[in-house]
Amino acid sequence: MDERSSVDEIPALQGDITVDVQVARAFEAEVSEDRLRHVAEIVLRHEQTAGQLTVVITDNVGIQELSRDFLGIDEPTDVLSFSAQEAAGPFVVAPEASDDLGDVIVAYPYALAQADELGHPITDEIDLLVTHGILHLLGYDHVTDDERAAMWARQDEILEGLG
């Protein structure tokens, strides 16, 4: 296991990490904003990336609307990532927005169903989905077998460090 996988041994970052958390009212009692913020901060520290991002917990309808509007897929999913760093066509990113990494959107009901199906706690599933979503923001993908192996290895390393 890589030495960086231990949360206590991750080097300090040059720059700040800011994590905005938004939880739909229906799931406020089910989801810890502090835990979401902690997981996001650990992922960014592990990947030696400073910046700001937003983690949103929504319902299946909300994520389906985003998936339909931005990806052309009219069905719910577990997690979506929207990078603020990708080229935006002819638009230039404003200098003050250069540290904005983007948004990670998680559908709580979808995640709960997956956790039940896999037989583990919902907190573990949400940790996984937030980690997965942030890795996408940082440029990881899983289109090819090699990309998938690299992303899954990084994901597993981070989740092991969470304990």
The whole-number pLDDT of residue 13 equals 57
Question: Does residue 9 have a pLDDT over 70?
Answer: no
- Tell me the CATH number at 50: 3.40.390.30
How many domains, in total, are found in the chain? Answer: 1
Alpha carbon distance 86, 120 (integer Å):
34
3-state secondary structure of 105: strand
pLDDT interval class at 87 (50, 70, 90): low
From the list 59, 30, 28, the residue with the least C-alpha distance to 123 is 30
Both structure tokens of 143:
């289109």
Other Cβ atoms closer than 10 A to 80:
22
CA dihedral 99, 100, 102, 106 (to 10 degrees): 100
With 0-12 / 13-18 / 19 or more C-beta atoms within 10 angstroms meaning exposed / middle / buried, residue 83 is: middle
Domain ranges, residue 111: 3-162
pLDDT exceeding 90 applies to what percent of the chain?
79
The pLDDT, as a whole number, for residue 85 is 80
* 29 phi, psi to nearest 5 deg: -80, -15
**Tokens representing residue 71 in the block:** 């990806």
Per the confidence metrics, is the pTM higher than 0.75? yes
108-139: pLDDT as tens digits: 999 999 999 999 999 999 999 999 999 999 99
Separation of alpha carbons 17 and 134, rounded Å: 13
pLDDT tier, 97 (very low <50, low <70, confident <90, very high otherwise): low
Would the pLDDT of 4 be above 50? Answer: no
